[in-house]
Structures are given as structure tokens and as C-alpha cells.
Amino acid sequence: NAGVMQNPRHLVRRRGQEARLRCSPMKGHSHVYWYRQLPEEGLKFMVYLQKENIIDESGMPKERFSAEFPKEGPSILRIQQVVRGDSAAYFCASSPPGLPGTDTQYFGPGTRLTVL
């Protein structure tokens, strides 16, 4: 009964490259959330997705960041032309079908992105 899976766990990119972070929700979960934790900060909400739909992307930076949750496969958080300020831990969470909530969100171990 695997939990939320994220890969890679560590990702190093040079400025200007693209970063792709993957998240496989828990089995049976249909809601996915992405959070970002900058150094010395708390986690900040980025985006909430259901299968093939972006429900709320109010926390996403307006440029260079995009997210998807296709019908098949993991959710992808994509960062184009990375800059040093994108260095952070990116956490994915998932929750079961039905009304989304917060105490039913299960978090993955995170991807630590380092931009050189």
C-alpha cells in the first residue's frame, strides 16, 4: 500500500534548464496538490489538480511554472528556464475522491531542486 511517490528525490539543474517533477498519488486518490518550501520558510500552496483539470493555480508563479495531472500517469510540475530562486523543496500531496480537504491530504517525501 504505497504512499505518495515523488521522483526524483533530488534534482540539480543549471540556470535556464527545465525541471520536471513527478508525483504519483496514493492508490485511489484523485486530488493532487503541490506545495513549495523555500529555505527557512513554511510550505506554500501552489496548485490543486484533479484528473485532467487544474482546479486552483492561485499559488503558482505566473511565468515558467505549469502543472498537469493527465488521465494516465503521474502529475507533473514543470519549471521552465529555472533560476536560482527556484531552489526549494517541492512537496506533492494527494487526497481521496469526494470533497477536497486538508486533514485528508497525504504528503510525499518531496523533491529537492537545486539550481546552480
Partner 1 sequence: DQQVKQNSPSLSVQEGRISILNCDYTNSMFDYFLWYKKYPAEGPTFLISISSIKDKNEDGRFTVFLNKSAKHLSLHIVPSQPGDSAVYFCAAHWSGGSNYKLTFGKGTLLTVNP
- Per CB under 8 A, contacts with partner 1 among 22-61 are 31, 33, 35, 40-45, 48, 56, 58-59
Residue 1 in contact with partner 1, rule: CB under 8 A: no
Pairing label, strands 19-24, 75-79: antiparallel
> Within 10 A of 11 (CB to CB), how many other CB atoms are there?
18
- Name which position in 11, 93, 113, 115 contacts partner 1 (CB under 8 A): 93
Locate 53 and state its grid cell. Answer: 483539470
To partner 1, the closest distance from the beta carbon of 5 in angstroms equals: 11
26: which DSSP letter? P
Q: How far is the CB of 45 from partner 1 (least distance, A)?
A: 5
d(CA 69, CA 109): 19
Residue 34: CB minimum distance to partner 1, A? 12
Q: Is 109 in the site for partner 1 (CB under 8 A)?
A: yes
Q: What's the maximum distance between 2 C-alpha atoms anywhere in the chain? A: 41
78 binds partner 1 (CB under 8 A): no
